[in-house]
Amino acid sequence: MTQILNSLVVAKGLDTQHALEDIMVNNLEGYVFSFLTHPIERLTEIDRDPDLIFIDGKGGLTGDDIQRIVRLFPRKTYVVLDDNPGMKRRVYLNMGIDEVMSLSDLQSELGKHLLEKLLVLKELAAAEARIEQGEERFRGIIEHSNDILVLLDAAGIILYTSPAFTRQLDYEIWEVMGQPFFSFLHASDKVEFEDQFRWLATHHSGEDATPTSFKFWHKRGVWLDFEASGSNLLRNVTVQAVVLHMRDVTAHKQAEHELAEYRKRLEVLVEERTQEAAAANRRADAVIAASPDALIAIDENGIISFASRHYYSLYPHSAKLLQPGVHVMDAFEVVTHEVGLEKGEPRYEDMKEWWKNPKGSKEYKMHNGTWVRMQARRIPATNGIVISTTNITDYKRQQALLAAQTAELGVALAKEKAVVEQQKTFVSMVSHEFRTPLTIIDGNAQIIHKRGDTIGKEALEKRTATIRAAVDRLVRLIETILSAHMMESGRLELQRGACDLSHIIREAVNDQQDISPGHVIRFEARNVPKVMFLDDKVIRQMMTNLLSNAVKYSPGAERVEVTAFVEGNYVFIEVQDHGIGIPADEVEKVFEKYFRAKTSAGIPGSGLGLSLVKQFVALHGGEVTLRSKEGVGTVVTVRLPLDSH
């Protein structure tokens, strides 16, 4: 196969180039010769890489000139053309010149052999450069990898540690070289690891051990958690050792611990989430696992120079293309097809731009839900790039779980805060509700006491009626609070019995009329059964609350209508007032505990009445609804099933 031989002639004219062209064409076969002549002053303008460099010694070149040429074109084959070198020959050779000869020497048979020797030197230099470049590339991969590489002999003695060992554990190489690897392990892990190591060291060469975990002693005096896998290469002529790959998983262990602690705090605040949090904890513990990084190296032109076997596991159908010599963008097209990423998708274009010029890190979610993080590191010595791919699915899951649980905690705390505020408001209202009737009772009692002998009958009856109304108000408030407490604690049970619903309603109407002489309360019953099985005390309390509200919230409208009638399989009770009404945006909240509408400002009340009504009705298997218009009035409708057994 014909080869192109690029030659640079350092001379002031073309005579030397022409002579060399004639000599080399006649003496060498199988080459196409390309010559370029430049004077020493213009060597920096050359844009091609020469194989042979001929230096014309007749041009008055100095030793500094020779050294400059060697620096500009390192690792080349150099020939000084000098008809009478004399003592300068040794000086030239000491400067790195490969041969010193004259043009006449090159034309001889000896010259032919010298030329062949120069070509052999050129090939040897090129081969050495390629070997050195390969070694530098793999050395870069080892030095920049986050994993620790340790070589052990058959007895477990440390023969070599990668730079990551020093970076992560602070030991200098001389401190651990020749030491037993087992001496750095925690006592609880040492026996099991030694057994696994002996099994690996005594089995067939090239066999891998099951990944294991252990605690390793850091130089600063702490135990770190590591996961490791080993390969038996004792019979490998080059390695002759057991190769151990180690990865620091202390952060993962700490994250698991912190996650468990955080769940405990959540369980205290949000008790109903205990079982779900425990299940999530077990699921998280089952899926959290660190897997080795997948490494791929590309040169400055984007050509793959190395791909670890983990890449083949990650993309099994594309493994054949993930080989040295393939352009990374060609591999990208095949891999994206394997993972279901089609051209035109935004994610496809985003990833394509990143792989064209890998920089920093990139996170990506695959079609099967797996998250990976890709990190690119440039190797200054070769200008190549090493890209590591890490499975971060567990990290993403933990992140989402913490975010969800934090949001739930915020909701629970907000609800708790709202309940506390409602209770404060309730206590304030109840305190006021108790003080008002007690003040009325005390004031009228003092007047009767002081003026008992002189006060007239009509005034006395008025004072006693006022006291009775205040006492009734206190009794109702106490009954409301007790009923609310019994409902909340679950101790209120219906005592059903045969009763006359119309009679119960009429008694409640009469009682309310007695203490509300300023209102006219009308009651009408249509076809209501004489006998229904209800808890008469609960129904009476329900009606008392409804009538009290109707009177209380219609201070300027005297009429209150109460109607009971049968429709279908239900008996309906409607209580209608023509009072202040309720704003439309608050109607849905009126049955909530402690809630009071804006229109009730300045009117006594606990905020428990309608809440209890709803619960009383529900205990009887019924429903309660409310219609209201601000400034017009309110209608409360209770529906009870006729079959109330």
pLDDT value at 633 more than 70: yes
When pLDDT is averaged across residues 15-40 and rounded to a whole number, the result is 81
* 134 against 176, higher pLDDT: 176
pLDDT value at 285 more than 50: no
* 360 against 602, higher pLDDT: 360
pLDDT value at 500 more than 90: yes
| pLDDT of the residue at 284 | 31
| pLDDT of the residue at 94 | 85
| pLDDT of the residue at 567 | 93
pLDDT value at 594 more than 50: yes
pLDDT value at 163 more than 70: yes
Say whether 247 sits in a helix, a strand or coil: strand
* 501 against 431, higher pLDDT: 501
* 473 against 8, higher pLDDT: 8
User: How many other C-beta atoms are found inside a 10 Å radius of the C-beta of residue 60?
Assistant: 9
- Rounded to an integer, what distance in angstroms lies between the CA atom of residue 505 and that of residue 154? 98
CB 365 within 8 A of CB 226: no
CB 1 within 8 A of CB 31: no
**Strand ranges across the sheet with 77-81:** 31-38, 3-10, 52-56, 77-81, 99-101
| pLDDT of the residue at 262 | 83
- Rounded to an integer, what distance in angstroms lies between the CA atom of residue 539 and that of residue 564? 13
pLDDT value at 474 more than 90: no
| pLDDT of the residue at 564 | 94
- Rounded to an integer, what distance in angstroms lies between the CA atom of residue 411 and that of residue 273? 13
Tell me the pLDDT band of 291, cut-offs 50, 70 and 90: very low
pLDDT tens-digit map of 387-415: 887 888 888 888 888 888 888 888 878 77
pLDDT value at 491 more than 60: no
pLDDT tens-digit map of 88-123: 788 888 888 888 888 877 777 766 676 677 677 666
pLDDT value at 350 more than 90: no
pLDDT value at 58 more than 90: no
| pLDDT of the residue at 503 | 93
| pLDDT of the residue at 419 | 57
When pLDDT is averaged across residues 232-240 and rounded to a whole number, the result is 84
pLDDT value at 566 more than 50: yes
% of the chain at pLDDT higher than 90:
13
* 621 against 306, higher pLDDT: 621
pLDDT tens-digit map of 319-334: 777 778 888 788 777 7
When pLDDT is averaged across residues 224-230 and rounded to a whole number, the result is 90
Give the tokens for residue 403: 């975010």
pLDDT tens-digit map of 423-453: 554 454 455 445 556 666 776 777 777 776 7
Domains of the chain: 3-139 (3.40.50.2300), 145-248 (3.30.450.20), 297-370+383-390 (no CATH), 493-641 (3.30.565.10)
pLDDT value at 645 more than 50: no
| pLDDT of the residue at 101 | 81
- Rounded to an integer, what distance in angstroms lies between the CA atom of residue 624 and that of residue 618? 8
Q: What is the DSSP string of 505-551?
A: HHHHHHHHHHH-TTSEEEEEEES--S-EEE-HHHHHHHHHHHHHHHH
When pLDDT is averaged across residues 49-67 and rounded to a whole number, the result is 82
| pLDDT of the residue at 529 | 93
pLDDT value at 160 more than 80: yes
When pLDDT is averaged across residues 596-613 and rounded to a whole number, the result is 71
Half-sphere exposure of 336 (CA within 13 A, CB side): 20
% of the chain at pLDDT higher than 70:
80
Type of residue at 630: E
pLDDT value at 490 more than 70: no
Give the tokens for residue 197: 């190591």
When pLDDT is averaged across residues 616-626 and rounded to a whole number, the result is 89
| pLDDT of the residue at 428 | 45
When pLDDT is averaged across residues 174-203 and rounded to a whole number, the result is 89
When pLDDT is averaged across residues 221-239 and rounded to a whole number, the result is 87
| pLDDT of the residue at 571 | 95
123-127, 373-377, 480-484: segment of lowest average pLDDT:
480-484
Tell me the pLDDT band of 568, cut-offs 50, 70 and 90: very high
pLDDT value at 251 more than 50: yes
Q: What is the pTM of this model?
A: 0.34
Highest-confidence range of 133-147, 172-186, 228-242, by mean pLDDT?
172-186
Q: What is the mean pLDDT of the chain?
A: 79
pLDDT tens-digit map of 10-20: 888 888 888 88
Type of residue at 485: H
CA pseudo-torsion sign 362, 366, 369, 370: negative
| Helix residue ranges, H only, 145-249 | 163-169, 173-176, 187-202
Type of residue at 639: R
- Rounded to an integer, what distance in angstroms lies between the CA atom of residue 382 and that of residue 19? 39
